[in-house]
Amino acid sequence: MTDDSRADEPVAWLDAEEKAAWTGLISIALLMPGRLEAPLRDFGLTLFDYMSLSAISEAPDRRLRMSELAYLTNGSLSRLSNVLKRFEQKGWAERYPDPADGRYTVAALTDAGYEVVVAAAPTHVRAVREHVLDPLPPEDRAALARIAERLRIRPADH
């Protein structure tokens, strides 16, 4: 193991407990998104697509600023610009300058876009239950929320 095979170096290599925590986390991070995305593909959605559509659908009048969307989805503006461009091309969303302040851009769901997220939501929730919630007892669920908070990762509402 590279991490702990050089005792001659001034590096605090990981012990077994640390390694178990670390590898647990990274494995979840690497594998879980793919699992949750797979059923969404039937709707032509990536996981991030779904989360973006979901966040907009929850906003007042199903519209919000791109910067607010970036905050809610933990995504970069660059990424979202590309995503919303795809949505526009599919007729799911539209973008326009915020009338209150032209520096901002508002992203709004079309009726078609709303229908997509409505259709996909039950599938998404079922996947979340199956892959995340059902296998975990309450103390583990609480731990997940607590850990995310401790790691200074802001959970977004989805």
Partner DNA sequence: CGACTTGAGTTCACGCGTGAAGTGAACTAG
Partner DNA sequence: CTAGTTCACTTCACGCGTGAACTCAAGTCG
Select from 47, 129, 49 the least CA-distant residue to 83.
49
Q: Which residue type does 33 have?
A: P
Q: How far apart are CA 14 and CA 19, in angstroms?
A: 6
Q: Name the token pair of 67.
A: 């910067």
Residues 26-55 that bind a copy of itself (CB under 8 A): 26-33, 36, 51, 53-54
By CB under 7 A, name the one of 10, 29, 103, 152 that touches DNA. 103
Helix (H) or strand (E) holding 63: strand 63-65
Q: How far apart are CA 12 and CA 26, in angstroms?
A: 19
| Residue 102: contacted member of a copy of itself, DNA, none (CB under 5 to 8 Å, by partner type) | DNA
Where does this chain touch DNA (CB under 7 A) — which range of 19-27, 76-84, 111-119, 141-149? 76-84
Helix (H) or strand (E) holding 108: strand 105-109
DSSP 8-state assignment for residue 157: P
Binding track over 105-134 against a copy of itself, x by CB under 8 A: ------------xx--xx-xxx-xx-xxx-
| Residue 67: contacted member of a copy of itself, DNA, none (CB under 5 to 8 Å, by partner type) | DNA
Residue count at the site for a copy of itself (CB under 8 A)? Answer: 69
Site residues, DNA (CB under 7 A) = 34, 38, 46, 48-49, 65-67, 70, 75-86, 95, 97-98, 101-105
